[in-house]
């Protein structure tokens, strides 16, 4: 096929030998199958911001640090340079997350290079060597649903142990590779410790998976993995090898009314003392 313009720099640099075909076009990028030497890989070409259906949100970008102060100011003002810088930061988030998660043993495509808004990465294949299907394109048995749900919950735990929440995880962002599910599409990934919305995003991610797999194995709909996982994370007890129960016990403590009233009385007494002191000082 004709080499897409955005892929020409990679061909000229010798990173890509041939563009075989377009694999898919998603809400944020187009994916091409490319040949690199003797290996088949993926080239993810990010769409321009005005062509994407997924919009950047402050909920996702909260907690992301920009080291260059000029760049940070430009991004806040929304200047032409700032918009370009914000777009580059959005794209590099996925690259950084892939390297970070791959190093932590999370099942994500292996990244190879990132050049001019194009991410060169592993082509995930099925058991016969063909490009792996997305999870939503596969009909599952109840046994497979339980198996893949358990596998992905473990990957979510491993991601969180590495400090990352996917932020948009669903059956559309999982490939069913020959060795099991592989998580993809991470430009909206958030830092678990630095983003105040991380807990809600984790709950939504796990909820999306549970609802999907629950179509094939309804008993999964009664599980509460997200709350259990976040509780363990916040208490410092979450590890990649932890055994989860899928249950979450809410601890509801009775309100100490007497204790609250004592605090109120103490505050009133302190305020009365301050007012008395102020009046006495004014009379001198």
Catalytic residue numbers, as ranges: 168, 185
Residue 5 to residue 7: CA distance in whole angstroms: 5
Beta bridge partners of 114: 119
Q: Are 95 and 108 in contact (CB under 8 A)?
A: no
- For residue 173 the two structure tokens come to 């962002």
- Closest among 102, 109, 103, 96 to 183, alpha carbons compared: 109
How far is Cα 154 from Cα 170, in angstroms, rounded to an integer? 15
Backbone angles phi, psi at 153, to 5 degrees: -60, -40
3-state secondary structure at position 224: coil
Instruction: Name which of 155, 160, 192 is nearest 174 in CA terms.
Output: 155
Residue with tokens 């601890």: 251
Map 86-116 to HEC letters: HHHHHHHHHHHHHHHHHHCCCCCCCEEEEEC
Q: Helix/strand/coil (H, E, C) string of 18-43? A: EEEEEEEECCCEEEEEEEECCEEEEE
3-state secondary structure of 249: coil
């Amino acid at each position: 096929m004709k080499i897409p313009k955005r892929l020409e720099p990679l061909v000229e640099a010798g990173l890509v030998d041939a563009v075989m075909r377009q694999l898919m076009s998603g809400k944020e990028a187009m994916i091409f199958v490319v040949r690199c030497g003797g290996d088949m890989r993926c080239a993810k070409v990010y769409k321009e911001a005005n062509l994407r259906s997924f919009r950047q949100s402050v909920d996702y970008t909260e907690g992301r640090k920009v080291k260059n102060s000029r760049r940070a100011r430009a991004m806040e003002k929304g200047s032409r340079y700032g918009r370009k810088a914000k777009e580059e930061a959005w794209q590099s988030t996925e690259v950084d997350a892939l390297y970070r998660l791959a190093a932590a043993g999370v099942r994500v495509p292996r990244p190879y290079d990132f050049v001019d808004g194009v991410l060169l990465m592993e082509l995930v294949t099925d058991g016969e060597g063909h490009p792996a299907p997305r999870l939503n394109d596969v009909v599952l048995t109840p046994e497979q649903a339980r198996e893949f749900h358990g596998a992905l919950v473990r990957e979510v735990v491993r991601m969180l142990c590495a400090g990352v929440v996917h932020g948009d995880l669903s059956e559309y962002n999982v490939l069913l590779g020959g060795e099991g599910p592989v998580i993809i599409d991470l430009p909206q990934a958030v830092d678990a410790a630095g983003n105040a919305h991380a807990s809600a995003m984790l709950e939504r991610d796990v909820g999306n998976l549970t609802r999907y797999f629950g179509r094939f194995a309804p008993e999964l709909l009664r599980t509460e993995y997200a709350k259990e996982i976040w509780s363990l994370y916040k208490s410092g007890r979450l590890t990649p090898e932890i055994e989860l129960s899928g249950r979450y016990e809410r601890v509801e403590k009775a309100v100490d009314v007497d204790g609250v009233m004592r605090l109120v009385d103490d505050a009133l007494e302190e305020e009365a003392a301050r007012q008395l002191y102020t009046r006495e000082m004014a009379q001198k």
